[in-house]
Amino acid sequence: MILDTRRYVIGACIILVGLALLGRLFYLQVIDNSYKRSADNISQRPVTQYPARGLIFDRHGQQLVNNQAAYDLMVIPRNIQPFDTVELAGILGMSVGEIKETVGKLKQGRGKNYASYRPVLFLKQMSAETYAVLQERLYKYPGFFVHARTLRRYVHPIASHLLGYVAEVDSLDIKEDRYYRTGDYIGKSGVERFYETELRGKKGVNVYLVDVRNSIVGSFRGGELDTMSVVGSDLTLTVDAGLQEYAEHLMSKFIGAVVAIEPSTGEILAMVSAPDYDPSLLVGRVRSENFRKLENDPSKPLFDRSVMASYPPGSTFKVAQGLVALQQGSLTPDTYYGCAGGYHVGRFHMGCHHHPSPLNLVQAIGNSCNSYFANVFRNIVDNRQTGAARENYLQWRKYIMSFGFGKKLGIDLPQERIGNVPSAEYYDRKYFPTPASWKSLTLVSLSIGQGEMGSTVVQMANFASLIANGGYYYTPHLLKKINGRDTVPAQYAQRRYTEVDTSWFQFVREGMYLAVTGGTARGVAIAGIEMCGKTGTAQNPHGEDNSTFMAYAPRENPRIAVAVYIENAGFGATWAAPVASLMIEKYLTGKTNRPWLEDRMLNFNRYDNRAAAN
Amino acid sequence: MQRQINSINGIDWLTVILYALMVLMGWLNIYATVADEQNAGVFSLSQRYGKQLVWIVTAIGLAVLVCLLDPRFYSSFAYPVYVFCMFVLIAVLVVGKEVNGARSWFDIGSVRLQPSEFAKVAVSLALAKYLGNYSGKLMQFKNLILVGIIIFLPPVFIILQPDTGSSLVYLAFLIVLYREGLPQEILLFGLLTVVLFILSLLMQNVQAYLAGGLILLGFTVYYLKSRQIKNVLKGLGVFMLIFSILFTVNFLAEIGFDIHEILLGAALTASVIFVAYSIVRRLPNIRTIILFILCALVFTFSVDFVFTKMLGSHQQKRIQVMLGIESDPLGIEYNVDQSKIAIGSGGLTGKGYLQGTQVRGKFIPEQSTDFIFCTIGEEWGFAGTAVTVILFIVLLLRLVYIAERQRSVFGRVYSYCVVSILFFHYAINIGMTIDLVPVIGIPLPFFSYGGSSLWAFTVLLFIMLRLDASRNEYIR
């Protein structure tokens, strides 16, 4: 019967359908990989374990920065159920409207994709108090949970610029380093930035298996993918918290900067940029608002004047001229130049203050004679024995840069800038139609640290430090120890000589000693301490002269070198010198005995001062 | 006594082994689906794997019981069983327990039974009995009507529960009827109906294209059968003429029908003329073709009506989602998506037993019952799913073989009923988990959790084996 053959049709159908199922299964399971990713996305919840950030100590082991707990309120949009918005608003200090709006937004995204399974930040950085209240009632708010984070806490309101601040990563940070994820914190400036990798430690992750309600079922593959977090390394800085605080106190009325260095190591003892701000202002939920305020402040408190500002060094630079000239041979320690109340060549006039005349190098440094160093500088540039003016200038520039000017010293701060020692090409363009017509007189304002010359305050302090050492320096740095061990990088332990022979330094040292004992800075001599210093009063086209002073002490085996720079204050001897003097006294003796001098510094008023000068 | 020993020896042990393998695999996967870290013991009756163990043991008892009964019992009691089953299906509508919106269950103590599962056995017996008595005369009108009633009475009650998925299973009996002599044309017609149904939902103005296409097809068929090119050209001329007239009138009088409606109108008018012509000139070929075309058109018009009026909203949605007309990621599509993710993430060899992340996370609804295949797919990978599919293929082919060696029509029809039901369940169940067919909630035989379905499939299969064991005896 013909119907019997239909068994084969039925059998064929069974096989064909089976093959269709097998083909489809093979495609789904073996060829198409997208389902594996989807499965991972849905069923894994990686929970990042944030390590505590490393602590920061001063050179004596005093804590400068530690951590405080903060609590992020997270929510899984999918799991939100209707709740008492009024009560939650009360606990969190938000308005009911805000809460409803946020929840509404989160719920709208629901169902679009699997992201609604993922925890979303609801409110960041709740205080411990808020958290304590919320925790008891958290069960009333399905879908919400709390994620503990750590924030910075500053023990003293000091050293804001050198410490820097920590903030949430931005898109650029994430792009640069794939370690970071949205919501992570990163050091944005200062030591926090420079030693970010040491301080941050290493994030860990626990991968959990979650079920359809997004509650944790267990660890994923028995914790196979989990990694431990590693606590950040603690840093010990070279900074002396006491000296730092005192310097900031003295500078509280000024705009300017102070840097103090231990010459024998290059360790920075204090580093002040005034005005400064309390670093606690840039922590937590108040950060963005305070940051905006500081950014808009016309006195630019966020600008680190100690390593970023390029100031004309003024008369302190004369010491450098003397050293270069001695080395070059255009000057001997016994060369005398006269001064008739200024330096006059044809129609060129450079004024000088009243002092005995003629003077040798030591006396000229002690009395800060402009004419003397105009002569010295012109002789350097016009020295026929060493070459044409342009070559001599290049030679001069090389010497100056060997003192650390016009380049980054390599300090461990991300914001360091180079200052400015003008290049020969710059003058080729600016003054000289042809290189052949180079003239020393055109550049003569460089002789007294004016004109285009720009130096950062840390470069000035480093210069003081290398004079104190008698001809070499260590790169100034802030790092002393990592995790309590002396693991300071080799570049900070290396003695760096200048292009000037160490034998020439005794003369300028003597000059700087004279300045304090019987010269321009005699008013700030410290009883019982042999200090060497050099004042500077840099003209400022925008207002009152800048007041500057560099010094070191004691004269033999110096323990501290300081540079002070104060904008628009007036004479170096009047304002910058006392600050340096008081700091040195404080550092070397542990106390100061000149309350009147401190008072004078603290009673400075920029606006009065400007009126008086005019 | 002698006969019983013969019966046991005559049992098809290959089938029994396949059955046992499937039930065992099913239980292992139910365990994996339900088990979690703080689970109770394997025998705990509070968990589904514990309960399923009880169902399995009792199912084996039932299988033995089925084998011990005299094969003539099944033939003799086919109608009473069928009638009893219909009463039960009516009773469940009245006193049944409502679960998930369907009144499909009886609660008897702590046991819950679903009579629609057992109705398949009753229909199979009754159908076998009826066709066994009227062998070879299926295409008689009276026989067809009665067979139709036997098969499609239970699904009417089941739709009323409502449980459309379970009622669709009865379409599988078409395979039996095909084997027993239902013309191929009717099955092809059925297939065409499904295609048209889908096309009508997917396409706009499908009737117009259909009408045009079918008329051309009709002419082609007519030409192939009659070889009279003259009539074809005449017909085409008439059709073109009507189309031109309608088009011109519409254009000049600015009536505003669009081109599809004109095409449709022309096709209908031409068809009427052709039918009249064929009656006058006695050309039966044309008549058949034209009638077929008209039926197809009426059908496409009725699809909208059937779809919106006769199907429930969730069934409409399932079909729409399946056809890609609507997207509904957290509704119907969610099930299928989660199911595909679980199976797809299994890879070649799976994530390992008890290691399925999607299964343990309970992402798939109904994952121990209708979606048990996901567990196989995720934890055992393609290796596991392929073994499962191949087991079913082997089982079904073996059952076809057994069916064909029956000497009685009763035995053969019943066996094909078993083949059809198992085939439909397995193909649709696996197909829906991998997004090949719409989701209709029917279990995977022998694998899915559930006492009623395991019992029903066991009884269904073992009656067949019992009949096969004594196939040499005459049964009618």
* B58: closest CA of chain A, how far (Å): 30
Residues B160 and B287 reside in one and the same domain = no
Give yes or no for residue B219 having a pLDDT over 50. yes
Query: For testing the chain A interface, which of B177, B357, B416 should be mutated: the one with the most A CBs within 10 Å?
Result: B357
Predicted local confidence at residue A529, as pLDDT: 92
Average pLDDT score over residue span B63-89: 92
Residues B150 and B256 reside in one and the same domain = no
CB atoms near residue A156 (< 10 Å):
18
Residues B283 and B388 reside in one and the same domain = no
Q: pLDDT-derived band of residue B58, with 50, 70 and 90 as boundaries?
A: very high
- Is B186 part of a structural domain of the chain? no
Chain B positions touching A46 (Cβ under 8 A) are none
Side-chain half-sphere exposure of B26, counting CA atoms within 13 A: 30
- Is B192 part of a structural domain of the chain? no
Residues B296 and B322 reside in one and the same domain = no
- Is B187 part of a structural domain of the chain? no
Q: pLDDT-derived band of residue B234, with 50, 70 and 90 as boundaries?
A: confident
CB atoms near residue B79 (< 10 Å):
15
Residues B175 and B227 reside in one and the same domain = no
Tokens of A568: 């628009």
> What is the distance between the alpha carbons of residues A255 and A276, in angstroms, rounded to a whole number?
9
Chain A positions touching B403 (Cβ under 8 A) are 7
CA-to-CA separations, B144 to B77, B97, B133, B148, B410, in angstroms, rounded: 22, 35, 14, 6, 17
Residue A478 vs residue B258, higher pLDDT? A478
Predicted local confidence at residue A550, as pLDDT: 94
Chain B positions touching A36 (Cβ under 8 A) are 344-345, 347
Residue of B nearest to A37 (CA): B345
Residues B306 and B321 reside in one and the same domain = no
Q: Which of B385, B404, B416 sits opposite A25 (nearest CB)?
A: B385
Chain B positions touching A44 (Cβ under 8 A) are 357
- Is B43 part of a structural domain of the chain? yes
Residue A378 vs residue A108, higher pLDDT? A378
Predicted local confidence at residue B419, as pLDDT: 96
Q: Of B256, B286, B310, which residue is a domain's last? A: B310
Chain B positions touching A7 (Cβ under 8 A) are 179, 400, 403-404
> What is the distance between the alpha carbons of residues A410 and A419, in angstroms, rounded to a whole number?
13
Chain A positions touching B175 (Cβ under 8 A) are 10
Residues B445 and B372 reside in one and the same domain = yes
Give yes or no for residue B348 having a pLDDT over 80. yes
Q: Give the phi and the psi of residue A93 in degrees, each rounded to 5.
A: 70, 30
Q: Could you tell me if A260 and A562 are in contact, meaning their C-beta atoms sit under 8 angstroms apart?
A: yes
Least confident stretch, A256-265, A603-612, B149-158, B392-401 = A603-612
Give yes or no for residue A250 having a pLDDT over 90. yes
Q: Which of A4, A24, A221 sits opposite B436 (nearest CB)?
A: A24
Interhelix angle for A85-92 vs A128-137, to 10°? Answer: 160
> What is the distance between the alpha carbons of residues B281 and B11, in angstroms, rounded to a whole number?
62
Chain B positions touching A21 (Cβ under 8 A) are 389, 427, 430-431, 434, 436
Question: Domain of B435?
Answer: 2-180+317-469
Predicted local confidence at residue B460, as pLDDT: 96
Residues for chain B: how many in total? 476
Residues B359 and B230 reside in one and the same domain = no
Asked, as a colleague might, if the bond just before A358 is cis with ω within 30 of 0, I would say yes
Give B190-203 as a 3 state SS string. Answer: HHHHHHHHHHHHHC
> What is the distance between the alpha carbons of residues A151 and A284, in angstroms, rounded to a whole number?
7
Residues B55 and B141 reside in one and the same domain = yes
Asked whether the beta carbons of residue B385 and residue A211 sit closer than 8 angstroms, the reply is no
Asked whether the beta carbons of residue B363 and residue A30 sit closer than 8 angstroms, the reply is no
- Is B476 part of a structural domain of the chain? no
Residues B255 and B335 reside in one and the same domain = no
- Is B241 part of a structural domain of the chain? yes
Asked, as a colleague might, if the bond just before A554 is cis with ω within 30 of 0, I would say yes
Residues B215 and B343 reside in one and the same domain = no
Least confident stretch, A361-370, B91-100, B309-318, B361-370 = B309-318
pLDDT in tens, A45-63: 778 888 889 999 999 999 9
Residue of B nearest to A4 (CA): B179
Give yes or no for residue B263 having a pLDDT over 70. yes
A376: CB partners within 8 A, 6+ apart? A321, A322, A325, A330, A331, A337, A447
Q: Of B261, B276, B310, which residue is a domain's last? A: B310
Tokens of B469: 């064991």
Burial of B389 (0-12, 13-18, 19+ CB in 10 A): buried
* B381: closest CA of chain A, how far (Å): 7
Chain A positions touching B360 (Cβ under 8 A) are 43, 209, 211, 217-218
* B386: closest CA of chain A, how far (Å): 6
Q: Which of B357, B386, B423 sits opposite A22 (nearest CB)?
A: B386
Chain A positions touching B389 (Cβ under 8 A) are 18, 21-22, 25
Q: Give ipTM to 2 decimals.
A: 0.81
- Is B436 part of a structural domain of the chain? yes
* Greatest Cα-to-Cα distance within chain B, rounded to the nearest angstrom: 91
Asked whether the beta carbons of residue A211 and residue B361 sit closer than 8 angstroms, the reply is yes
Side-chain half-sphere exposure of B418, counting CA atoms within 13 A: 31
* B181: closest CA of chain A, how far (Å): 6
User: Would you state the torsion angle of the CA atoms of residues A131, A137, A143, A148, taken in this order, to the nearest 10 degrees?
Assistant: 20
Q: pLDDT-derived band of residue A111, with 50, 70 and 90 as boundaries?
A: very low
Q: Could you tell me if A213 and A79 are in contact, meaning their C-beta atoms sit under 8 angstroms apart?
A: yes
Least confident stretch, A314-323, B230-239, B464-473 = B230-239
Chain B positions touching A117 (Cβ under 8 A) are none
Residue of A nearest to B334 (CA): A111
Predicted local confidence at residue B205, as pLDDT: 64
How is residue B310 annotated by DSSP?
Answer: I
Q: Of B265, B280, B310, which residue is a domain's last? A: B310
Average pLDDT score over residue span A490-497: 92
* A178: closest CA of chain B, how far (Å): 27
Predicted local confidence at residue B1, as pLDDT: 43
Residue recorded with tokens 């199912």: B59
- What is the 3-state composition of chain B as percent helix, strand, coil, each rounded to the nearest 5? 75, 5, 25
- Is B261 part of a structural domain of the chain? yes
> What is the distance between the alpha carbons of residues B468 and B465, in angstroms, rounded to a whole number?
5
Residues B400 and B251 reside in one and the same domain = no
Asked whether the beta carbons of residue A14 and residue B430 sit closer than 8 angstroms, the reply is no
**Residue among A597, A593, A594, A609 nearest A547 (CA):** A609
Q: Give the phi and the psi of residue B315 in degrees, each rounded to 5.
A: -70, -40
**Residue among A554, A461, A553, A404 nearest A260 (CA):** A461
* Residue pairs between chains A and B whose CB atoms are closer than 8 Å: 123
Give yes or no for residue B424 having a pLDDT over 70. yes
The total number of structural domains in chain B stands at: 2
Where do the domains of chain A lie, and which CATH numbers do they carry?
70-151 (3.90.1310.10), 249-306+456-614 (3.40.710.10), 314-404+420-453 (3.40.710.10)
Asked whether the beta carbons of residue B385 and residue A29 sit closer than 8 angstroms, the reply is yes
Average pLDDT score over residue span B285-292: 67
Task: Give the H or E element holding residue A480.
Answer: strand A479-482
